[in-house]
A and B are shown apart, each in its own frame.
Chain A
């Protein structure tokens, strides 16, 4: 398994009201899997993704990433782990507005202090891979929504991660562009990349090799469709 969780809990407490966003979640993500997580709004999908990424601290439980227990890492080590082993594709693209497509893709490499021309060459290669070689110098605002999401996908691959976490990557795209993005993610998975994608879309969820359905913070169904 690439990643496993045990009794993962996340409780939000506001104004003395406690909400269990995740309750004893146990999930296993095999190497090379394309896991899709579905569920109604408020079911805890995004909370699960952010918790697995170490961006939210679980209230209880543990997360094991290969030999590393993420829940035992310090903030700085967790940040470094995230940088080196995870890629992110978010619904709102999350691109830095004043950096070009090439620089956005190279940003995770720069955060790792790997300074040099190589990082920009790598960014160009990744942009080429997502079909945006000719848009490398463009700022995000000069790109369409679909192109911005492609840049985000290219960026998620910058540090050759072991796992790509995608949160509603097609949520802001029209159906045709959404299909393109899903095709791209599927192709990446076909190349061996492990992907965990949170989605509302049944069509997107159907692309997964393992489908997890959440309700009220609990896994209610895990499906592994036959090929």
Chain B
């Protein structure tokens, strides 16, 4: 027998008196877990939405406009491709993919088209319709914090195997040029085989011809220059100031975000995040008070017993320790039940009520246990201290 077993027996003996405290802490943790789970699911949903938009940050030469980039004028300004390396070496958090591009309007068989040079390893086929069989890389996960719950839609396809003598042709450009997959196109005197006609995306890409960036630079004789760098930034990183950080890394460029559409939702997520922490504080306060009240009622009921323990030689610190042991048991139980209740509730209600696919947050299991135990310990501190100060001679004589 040891004091842990004595504390456990006391809990079992008076379990009904602990129910109110246990319920309070269970509900508190359930609320916290529920809110955090929904918040994470919402962030995940935003990440999916952002991902569907493709690259969300555009780096342009200083003085260039987005129109310049799209119209691909012959005189459109460029900047060194070396900027890509500069971005990579700066190791900015939240930069998921970097895709340098060179665009120029050229003539192919007297037909004006926009030729776009891309680096196959970097090019994000962000448009969902760019499905190139056999050319799909391992996943690039935007929402890195969603771990095992990653939505398969977050897997981005990257063109890996566009050879130097190949090109991809947008559907509209293919119609105008009269080419099909497997055919050839002569670009600035060089024949390129058409490896794929890209499906319609409803964007300017439909009227473009894509080829290897370095081959294009050589053909056009413009050195290692690019017109733009498309960046796939993680949604939370964008709201955390990724654009300004990029501007610091590349001061002589123009960095624009093209993900305004989701910025409101990101802000909503941030607000929800803040609210969840606010609720957390509130729940901790209420839970702590409730546990404190339960423990105070318990020690008052045990006045005589505490007096007996003091008589038998338990020091004040030992009395506090025994009561704290009880608080730990209460906290662990409350944390466990709260996690299960909160998770089951939001996962069950999520799709129907919230319109979200809510996943389980395994990491919050230990957090729930720790949080509930900490609340129980803090809430029990004062009652335990007061119990240790009970006058044993008075309590022993109380019948």
13 pairs, A vs B, C-beta closer than 8 Å: A46-B397, A53-B311, A75-B316, A79-B318, A82-B311, A84-B313, A92-B399, A94-B304, A97-B305, A98-B12, A110-B2, A115-B1, A115-B2
Are A108 and B313 in contact (CB-based, < 8 A)?
A: yes
A29 touches B (CB below 8 Å): no
Known: A50-B393, A55-B392, A96-B305. A111 touches B314 (CB 8 A): yes
User: Taking each of B10, B13, B393, which has the highest tally of chain A beta carbons within 10 Å of its own beta carbon?
Assistant: B393
B309 touches A (CB below 8 Å): yes
Are B311 and A112 in contact (CB-based, < 8 A)?
A: no
Residue from B304, B308, B316, B393 within 8 A of A56 (CB atoms): B393
B396 touches A (CB below 8 Å): yes
Q: Which residues of B contact A90 (CB under 8 A)?
A: 311, 396
Q: Which residues of B contact A53 (CB under 8 A)?
A: 311
Q: Which residues of B contact A92 (CB under 8 A)?
A: 399
Are A55 and B315 in contact (CB-based, < 8 A)?
A: no
Are A79 and B396 in contact (CB-based, < 8 A)?
A: no
B354 touches A (CB below 8 Å): no
The answer for the CA separation of A171 and B393 in the assembled complex, in Å, is: 18
Known: A90-B396, A98-B9, A99-B6. A111 touches B1 (CB 8 A): no
A204 touches B (CB below 8 Å): no
Are B393 and A107 in contact (CB-based, < 8 A)?
A: no
B74 touches A (CB below 8 Å): no
* A interface, size bucket: 20 to 34
A194 touches B (CB below 8 Å): no
**Nearest neighbor of B313 in chain A, beta-carbon distance:** A83
What is the minimal beta-carbon distance from A113 to any residue of chain B, in angstroms? 8
Residue from B1, B10, B307, B313 within 8 A of A79 (CB atoms): B313
Q: Which residues of B contact A88 (CB under 8 A)?
A: 311-312
Which residues of B in the span 1-44 have a Cβ within 8 Å of any Cβ on A?
A: 1-3, 6, 9-10, 12-14
Are B305 and A55 in contact (CB-based, < 8 A)?
A: no
The answer for the CA separation of A156 and B1 in the assembled complex, in Å, is: 17
Residue from B1, B311, B313, B399 within 8 A of A80 (CB atoms): B313
Known: A50-B393, A55-B310, A92-B399. A80 touches B315 (CB 8 A): yes
**Besides A80-B315, A92-B399, A111-B312, 8 new A-B residue pairs in contact (Cβ under 8 A), listed by A number:** A55-B396, A56-B393, A75-B315, A79-B318, A94-B308, A110-B1, A111-B313, A115-B2
Q: Which residues of B contact A84 (CB under 8 A)?
A: 313
B62 touches A (CB below 8 Å): no
Are B311 and A55 in contact (CB-based, < 8 A)?
A: yes
Which residues of A in the span 43-98 have a Cβ within 8 Å of any Cβ on B?
A: 46, 50, 53, 55-56, 75-76, 79-80, 82-84, 88, 90, 92, 94-98
